[in-house]
Amino acid sequence: MHRLEGKVAIVTGASKGIGAAIAKQFAAAGAAVVVNYATSQTDADAVVSAIEERGGRAVAVKGDVSKAEDARAIVDGAVRTYGRLDILVNNAGKYEFAGLSDITEDHFHKLMNINVLGLLLVTQAAAAHMGEGGSIINIGSSVTTMKPPASTVYAATKSAVEAITGVLSKELGARRIRVNGVNPGPTATEGSASLQGGDASAALIAQTPLGRIGQPQDIARIALFLASEDSGWMTGDTLIASGGL
């Protein structure tokens, strides 16, 4: 049952939503977990407390993934606290939607900086500490296949994430570091709640073969599979987890 016993994991953007669920799932599977957050210290501390109450090990580490210095500090925090690093989940991400005429430089750079540059900076810092063997999991989005209107910049960032997953699997494979991705469909999180109105959710549920919105735990279980040796023969792949939408 303890598929990550003895492992150390960083989950970026783990104060809320999908990242918080992944941090809890990994800790329940035996990993010591770095719960990264950007601003929400109270939420990150609550995730750490929930893990510790169940006998797990976790520490909250503040850092903006889109800043190189912070990215290194997040990784240093893991190595300093737990002495090693085996698993990185690049989950921190922003989603904002804008039709073509509403796209601005600010919108473009904000999404690219966090979703793409941030992922690269943390991965660069983490790979330097991972030694031989490890698992990197990139959280993308099913927008890359659904291509909904007004998702141009967000979908572009997540298409970049898929490309990066493939390229880095080749660069890091010789060190037995696997790089895979998960593309969630619409998932009920603090972030998505601020976007989706009731009508939009009802329409999405109606189009989803499994008949509901995804929950963070749905994605966390897949992340656990990709982090563990159960997926040991997979690298460079991205799984879609959207209830069939």
Ligand X SMILES: NC(=O)c1ccc[n+]([C@@H]2O[C@H](COP(=O)([O-])OP(=O)(O)OC[C@H]3O[C@@H](n4cnc5c(N)ncnc54)[C@H](OP(=O)(O)O)[C@@H]3O)[C@@H](O)[C@H]2O)c1
- Tell which positions 166-185 bind ligand X, by CB under 6 A: 184
Using CB under 6 A as the binding rule, whether residue 137 contacts ligand X is answered as no
Candidate residues 46, 81, 96, 191; the one interacting with ligand X per rule CB under 6 A = 191
- Name which of 14 and 229 has its Cβ closer to ligand X: 14
Q: What is the dihedral of CA 67, 70, 72, 77, to 10 degrees?
A: -160
Walk across the sheet containing 134-139 and list its strands. Answer: 57-62, 32-37, 8-11, 87-90, 134-139, 177-184, 238-241
CA-nearest of 68, 67, 78 to 14 is 78
Residues between 70 and 109 with contacts to ligand X, criterion CB under 6 A: 91-95
* Phi, psi of 35, rounded to the nearest 5 degrees: -95, 95
Own/partner contacts of 100-105, CB < 8 Å, gap of 24 or more, are 100/152, 102/150, 103/152, 103/153
Instruction: Say if CB 73 and CB 38 are below 8 A apart.
Output: no
Annotated catalytic, 154?
Answer: yes
Nearest distance, CB of residue 97 and ligand X, angstroms = 12
Q: 19 or 56: whose CB is closer to ligand X?
A: 19
Shortest Å, Cβ 190 to ligand X? 4
Q: Which stretch binds ligand X (CB under 6 A): 10-18, 76-84, 103-111, 227-235?
A: 10-18
Distance of CA 112 to the CA centre of its chain: 15
Give me the least distance between CB of 3 and ligand X, in Å please: 22
Which of 66, 165, 228, 235 contacts ligand X by CB under 6 A? 66
Q: How far is the CB of 93 from ligand X (least distance, A)?
A: 2
Tokens of 1: 């049952």
Q: In angstroms, rounded to a whole number, what is the distance separating the alpha carbons of residues 37 and 64? A: 7
From residue 6, how far is each of 32, 86, 87, 98 by CA, in Å? 8, 9, 11, 44
3-state secondary structure of 23: helix
Q: Is 164 in the site for ligand X (CB under 6 A)?
A: no
Is 13 a binding residue for ligand X by CB under 6 A? The answer is yes
Q: Binding segment for ligand X among 50-58, 63-71, 101-109, 168-176 (CB under 6 A)?
A: 63-71
Parallel, antiparallel or unpaired: strands 87-90 and 134-139 = parallel
Cβ distance to ligand X smaller for residue 45 or 236: 45
Rank residues 40 and 176 by Cβ distance to ligand X and give the closer one: 40
Q: Cα dist. 18→35, 132, 222 in Å? A: 12, 28, 11
Q: Would you say 12 or 135 has its CB closer to ligand X? A: 12
Query: At its nearest, how many Å lie between ligand X and the CB of residue 27?
Result: 16
Residues that bind ligand X (CB under 6 A): 12-19, 36-40, 43, 64-66, 91-95, 114, 118, 139, 141, 184, 186-187, 189-192
Catalytic site residues? 154
